[in-house]
Amino acid sequence: MTENFPAFDISPVPDPALDAVPPELFRGLYGMPMFVTASTSDLAASVDFWIRGLGFFDLFSVPGQLTHLRRWAFQDVLLVPGERPAGAPGLSVSFACVLSQIDPIAAECEELLPGCTTGPRQMPWNSVELEIVTPENIRVIMTAARPYDPNSAAAEYLRAIGIGAPEE
């Protein structure tokens, strides 16, 4: 018997589909179960990149001290003044999106910061991922689940690592 169980009903991520519709931006207040804090030497430019490029919105700001950004429920980022790390990003953060958002996010990010994206690429675990290195030198992965095809290479890969087909 396993202690794991389906809990998809608490997630804002829609079922994988080619025509999946992203949920609305979530403006509710809650105790954040997880968030990212990013230091930036240019708070205004970073806020602009995250909003226009990655689809976040300004939930609230304390001028010159903090901007709390959000997309969907449980996708929170705090931007704070500080120094941009000089080296390559060692840590990444992933945010769910839907397939129809991948190309527009890539285009907008490239317009704002040419050369900041890699991909999108199809991953063996049945997702499409776009890598973005933000102005703060954070490696952000926008990841969109693909519809499950039991005859695909991705399904075979998932079965091989012990993940069965989703329940119908």
pLDDT tens digit string along 104-148? 999 999 999 999 999 999 998 889 999 999 999 999 999 999 988
User: What CA–CA distance (Å, rounded) separates 141 from 143?
Assistant: 6
In a 3-state reduction of DSSP, which class is residue 71? coil
pTM as predicted = 0.89
User: What CA–CA distance (Å, rounded) separates 43 from 39?
Assistant: 8
pLDDT of 156 reads 85
Question: Which of the four pLDDT bands, split at 50, 70 and 90, describes residue 167?
Answer: low
Top pLDDT among 20 and 159 is at: 20
Question: Which of the four pLDDT bands, split at 50, 70 and 90, describes residue 164?
Answer: confident
With 0-12 CB in 10 A as exposed, 13-18 as middle and 19+ as buried, what is 113? middle
Using DSSP bridges, classify how beta strands 66-70 and 76-81 pair: parallel, antiparallel or unpaired: antiparallel
Place of tokens 């998932």: 158
- Judged by average pLDDT, the poorest of 20-34, 67-81, 83-97, 140-154 is 83-97
Single-letter amino acid code for the residue at 5 = F
